[in-house]
A = this chain, B = another copy of it.
Amino acid sequence: MTRADCDVIGIGNAIVDVLSQADDDFLAANGIEKGAMTLIDAARAEELYGRMGPGLEISGGSAANTMVGLASFGGRAAYIGKVRADQLGAVFAHDIRAAGVRFATAPTTTGAPTARCLILVTPDAQRSMSTFLGACVELGPEDVVEAEIAGAQVTYLEGYLWDPPQAKEAFRKAAGIAGRAGRKVALSLSDPFCVHRHRDEFLDLVAGPVDILFANEQEILALCGTSSFDDAVARLRAGKTLAVLTRGALGAVVVAADGVHAVPAAPVAAVVDTTGAGDLFAAGFLYGYTHGRPLPECAGLGARAAAEIIGHVGARPQVPLAELA
């Protein structure tokens, strides 16, 4: 195995977030599932946007946020995802490159516009997401460059990739390349509803190519088909996958071959917007992991990155995370 020229390469849906404040009544009146990520079509996106208050555009996308966080820690990050060659696509590409992440996927010049996620942040700092996948449906195995995957210590895949039709083929191709190159494959379960949509395939992935699994409590309960966190941990201990489980204010639990490590949440002055908390936890963990840190320290870095991101609006860090490392 040659020396890696990249710490982590992420593959995901390339999305620009449109953040706006709303109250619970607005969510109810517009049939929005609180705390979840719901897929919407172009017509629904236009309708919902028309009803939303003034917005704020920030580049997002789960795995993209994680790669930006990794780069902010000082890690070497790359990203594969599909935008269209339009104004929001240019914003996405600029922002991820300006953050120090290698991003070379060719944009589409036809078809749907760059994806956007309409994020409504309620006064309790919870975020509810309605995603129009747009150009993301064009991501396919041809976008997965073998040398990029083989050259990265870890290939990080978001569960959301199971939603657009061809992206799971890109996912499978990348996992295959990484496995043959002796690299690690990481999967984030993304969202409990996403787990419900694709549960059997996700179970096969965890039993198969996935070396590191990221999930929050709701997601791991959905995957394991249980209502008991302890039961889920017991099942994961019987497997071979390193599982990194986040529990919000309760901290995180790492289920590893050498045992179970519990790590407390990092302090936050005021929780403003939880968008990206899981993404940034993964960034901190992966930075530590790819730099040979012990697992509890990896989780501690994750907790501190998550604490930074929930203290302000948006899922991209506002200070260099290297200061936390």
Contact assessment for B87 and A68 in the assembled complex, using a CB-CB cutoff below 8 Å? no
- Is the C-beta of A54 less than 8 angstroms from some C-beta in chain B? yes
Q: Which of B49, B55, B58, B87 contacts A86 (CB 8 A)?
A: B87
Q: How far is the CB of A198 from chain B (nearest CB, A)?
A: 31
Contact assessment for A56 and B314 in the assembled complex, using a CB-CB cutoff below 8 Å? yes
Q: Which of B21, B56, B95, B114 contacts A58 (CB 8 A)?
A: B56
Contact assessment for A91 and B57 in the assembled complex, using a CB-CB cutoff below 8 Å? yes
Interface size classification for chain A: 20 to 34
Contact assessment for B56 and A56 in the assembled complex, using a CB-CB cutoff below 8 Å? yes
- Is the C-beta of A224 less than 8 angstroms from some C-beta in chain B? no
Residue among A56, A68, A96, A98 having the largest count of chain B Cβ atoms under 10 Å: A56
- Is the C-beta of A225 less than 8 angstroms from some C-beta in chain B? no
- Is the C-beta of A81 less than 8 angstroms from some C-beta in chain B? no
- Is the C-beta of A113 less than 8 angstroms from some C-beta in chain B? yes
Contact assessment for A55 and B87 in the assembled complex, using a CB-CB cutoff below 8 Å? no
Q: How far is the CB of A213 from chain B (nearest CB, A)?
A: 29
Residues of chain B within 8 A (CB-CB) of A170 are: none
Q: Which of B54, B55, B59, B113 contacts A54 (CB 8 A)?
A: B59
A residues 304-323 touching B (CB-CB < 8 Å):
314, 316, 318
Residues of chain B within 8 A (CB-CB) of A87 are: 86-88, 113-114
Q: How far is the CA of A98 from the CA of B55 in the complex (A)?
A: 9
Contact assessment for B316 and A91 in the assembled complex, using a CB-CB cutoff below 8 Å? no
- Is the C-beta of A239 less than 8 angstroms from some C-beta in chain B? no
- Is the C-beta of A94 less than 8 angstroms from some C-beta in chain B? yes
Since A52-B98, A54-B96, A55-B95 are in contact, a sample of 17 more A-B pairs with Cβ atoms closer than 8 Å, ordered by chain A residue number, is A20-B98, A21-B318, A54-B59, A54-B68, A54-B95, A54-B98, A54-B316, A55-B91, A56-B57, A56-B58, A56-B314, A57-B57, A57-B58, A57-B91, A86-B87, A87-B87, A87-B113
